[in-house]
Amino acid sequence: MTLPFLDEESKGRQVYRYPGEYASSVWPGLTINAQERHVKASVPSVATAISSAVYGGGMVELDRIFNIYVDKHYRCDDPPHDIQCLLREWKEREDACTGLLTAVRLEHTSIQEYANSDFGLLCCTTAGVSNAARAGSPRMVFDAMGNRTDAVQQLDGAYIPGTINMMLWLNGRLTNGAMVNAIQTAVEAKAAALADAGVRDSENGLTATGTTTDAIVLAVSQDQHNPILTYAGTATVLGSVIGRLVYDTITESLQAGRQWSGRNNK
């Protein structure tokens, strides 16, 4: 497991190391760069992607993914606009990319890789659980405008940071169905990692399956030299690798955050 942008100083103090760069060993040209406000993953040519990102989500082609830090007091009714403004500030193209928001300290970014003869996979995760939630259990919910459904209280913005953001970069070939299957497997692994870490829904105390604002991006090179894979469930090699890398990166990022909080009485 790797926390490439974390430096441990004397007395156990955690320091964010930026600018910094991580070069993938499984996808030639894939680099992950740490900057003061964000971590950017980029590839030389566009990849096919499926994403729940608040900026640039859906079925898209992209060559960059941004994981952007915001503090825990961030509230906004238009996060895509905020991300667009930041991209302009950083002189980045606004197309062919996705943007994620996180309140997790960027030094707690965890990266793992795996490769075999059929594919290579890189998983990059930041995990924060201040708004942990359990899918399928009763809890406070909000409509599309950010209003509580009982109309008693209005939220300043529907998007609250404190989230689990996952980037999966797959150097290989997948059918569209396998891409959806890969997302399914990643989410199952996320739920397992949170259960084993003892993370609870902040409202009802039940075992959490995620947070209220989790996001995931799967980008696939669709390299014609690789065999096309049609399944990514837990009984496949690909699904098993996705599950292990997601589980391990969430666990590592969470542990780093808990250590920081313990040292800083947060």
Residue 9: DSSP 8-state: -
The mean pLDDT value for 134-142 works out to: 80
Cα separation, 253 vs 81, whole angstroms: 28
The mean pLDDT value for 188-215 works out to: 95
Residue 265: DSSP 8-state: T
pLDDT at 79: 92
pLDDT at 261: 87
Residue 240, SS3? helix
Cα separation, 40 vs 8, whole angstroms: 22
Cα separation, 129 vs 138, whole angstroms: 18
Q: Which of 225, 219, 223 is nearest to 121 (CA)?
A: 219
pLDDT at 153: 41
Confidence band of 156 (pLDDT split at 50, 70, 90)? very low
pLDDT at 154: 38
Half-sphere exposure of residue 263, counting CA atoms within 13 Å on the CB side? 14
Residues 9-50 have pLDDT tens digits of: 766 788 999 999 999 999 999 999 999 999 999 999 999 999
Residues 37-95 have pLDDT tens digits of: 999 999 999 999 999 999 999 999 999 999 999 987 787 778 999 999 999 999 999 99
The alpha-helical segments, DSSP class H, found in 38-197 are: 79-89, 176-196
- Phi first, then psi, for residue 111 (nearest 5°) are -130, 135
Asked which of 35-39, 58-62, 153-157, 213-217 is least confident by mean pLDDT, the reply is 153-157
